[in-house]
Amino acid sequence: MAKRDYYEVLGVAKNSSADEIKKAYHKLALKHHPDRNPGDREAEERFKEAAEAYGVLQDADKRRNYDQFGHEGSNFGSAGFSNVEDIFSAFSDIFGGSVFGDMFGGGRGSGRSRGRRGASLRCTITLDFAEVAETVEKVITLRRNEGCETCDGTGAKPGTKPSKCPQCSGAGVVMTSAGFFSMRSACPRCQGRGEIITDACGKCGGSGRIAREREITIKIPPGIEDGMTLRVGGEGEAGENGAPHGDLLCDVQIRPHPLFKRAGADVYLVLPVGFAQAALGATVEVPTLKGRTEFKISRGTQSGQVLRMRGEGFPKLDGYGRGDQLIEIAIEVPQKLTKDQEKLLREFAETEEQNISPERKSFLDKVKKMFSK
Ligand SMILES: [Zn+2]
Ligand SMILES: [Zn+2]
């Protein structure tokens, strides 16, 4: 399933050194650390994601596999990090450990994992341009694997228990010798779980999971931009043997607007204005994200001038305030004139000959200078 590239997660180049990878990870881990972001699921997910990426990239072999085969490759062989608990216990030195046992429901200390965390799912959400000016909720329907209720996700027939794997005697790992070396690798029989199912649950056939259609309500943070991906923690596929769900990644698409354009949190609007309105000043009606409002154009407004309506843009994604609405004035020159209008304009033009406007005067002066040598 679509998973972010590990290098991208850590924000490092493909050829970065082990040291650079370590530094990048430490920085992210501190930033998204659950202790610093209590109750923030997004931060928790980022934290896990970074830990997973680091778990692979800090290990030369796994990194090579990953470079060659991608996410599939990083799951190969040797006692890998099969779930987050493992990652936390392996890197607890950075944080002093302890907190994570509570956070993820304990389960550490058994020496082997309960099963892999579920895979991520992906969906696309299409929103209207102005809709994201406020928090919106969208309901999407998706089909995903969920834990089987009959066997509680274990895959074993109710009343029976998985039995100890005969190949690895429950250790989850086996030693294989390769030349002079012996290597630890995940037990092929039980995939590192240490146990196998002898009596399969009749409902799920021993997989512990059942496909279901679900409606999920997704809260969209205001100000989200086209092309961004929203991560909804824990709404992906169920994990193996009751392990946590993966995430749901929602790609956000925003429909273009016939009048507005967007640049970050700012909204941009081109406002056609009549020549006389711009010269004399006027109050005109302009659309905003929230509705219509009156907008004052001062006397002598020029074509191309950009005026700002503060705080009329989108909420900023960092949570601090809103962007502005920028209005570019486009003065429209009439293409057809009535007899009366033409007469008035000709009279106006005559006065213009005697009363030259400042920009035009400065232009004419420059032209004069250009040819006076
Ligand atoms: Zn079952
Ligand atoms: Zn085994």
Return the pLDDT at 155. 87
Return the pLDDT at 95. 37
Ligand number, closest to the Cα atom of 169: 2
**Spacing, Cα 267 to ligand 1 middle (Å):** 52
Task: Give Cα separations from 368 to 135, 287, 358 (angstroms).
Answer: 59, 45, 15
**Spacing, Cα 336 to ligand 1 middle (Å):** 78
Please tell me the pTM assigned to this model. Answer: 0.57
**Spacing, Cα 144 to ligand 1 middle (Å):** 15
- Please report, in tens digits, the pLDDT of each residue of the chain (373 residues total): 467 889 999 999 888 888 899 889 888 888 888 777 777 888 888 888 888 888 888 888 888 888 887 876 554 433 333 344 444 444 433 333 333 333 333 333 333 455 678 899 999 999 999 999 999 999 999 999 998 999 888 888 998 888 899 999 988 888 877 777 777 888 888 888 888 888 999 999 888 889 999 999 999 999 999 999 999 999 999 987 778 899 999 999 999 999 999 999 999 999 999 999 999 999 999 999 999 999 999 999 999 999 999 999 999 988 889 999 999 999 999 899 999 999 999 999 888 777 778 888 888 889 888 888 6
**Spacing, Cα 198 to ligand 1 middle (Å):** 13
Neighbours of ion ligand 1 (CB under 5 A): 148, 150-151, 201, 203-204
**Spacing, Cα 239 to ligand 1 middle (Å):** 13
Return the pLDDT at 114. 57
Q: Is 17 exposed, middle or buried (0-12, 13-18, 19+ CB in 10 A)?
A: exposed
Ligand number, closest to the Cα atom of 152: 1
**Spacing, Cα 101 to ligand 2 middle (Å):** 25
**Spacing, Cα 162 to ligand 2 middle (Å):** 12
DSSP per residue, 242-286? GPPP--EEEEEEE---SSEEEETTEEEEEEEEEHHHHHH-EEEEE
Return the pLDDT at 2. 65
Ligand number, closest to the Cα atom of 171: 2
Cα 113 to Cα 116: distance, rounded to the nearest angstrom: 8
Cα 268 to Cα 324: distance, rounded to the nearest angstrom: 9
Return the pLDDT at 71. 77
Ligand number, closest to the Cα atom of 206: 1
End-to-end Cα, the chain, rounded Å: 74
Among 82, 104, 123, 118, which residue's Cα sits nearest to residue 209? 118
**Spacing, Cα 189 to ligand 2 middle (Å):** 5
**Spacing, Cα 147 to ligand 1 middle (Å):** 8
Ligand number, closest to the Cα atom of 205: 1
**Spacing, Cα 238 to ligand 1 middle (Å):** 13
**Spacing, Cα 189 to ligand 1 middle (Å):** 20
Pairing mode of beta strands 173-178, 181-186: antiparallel
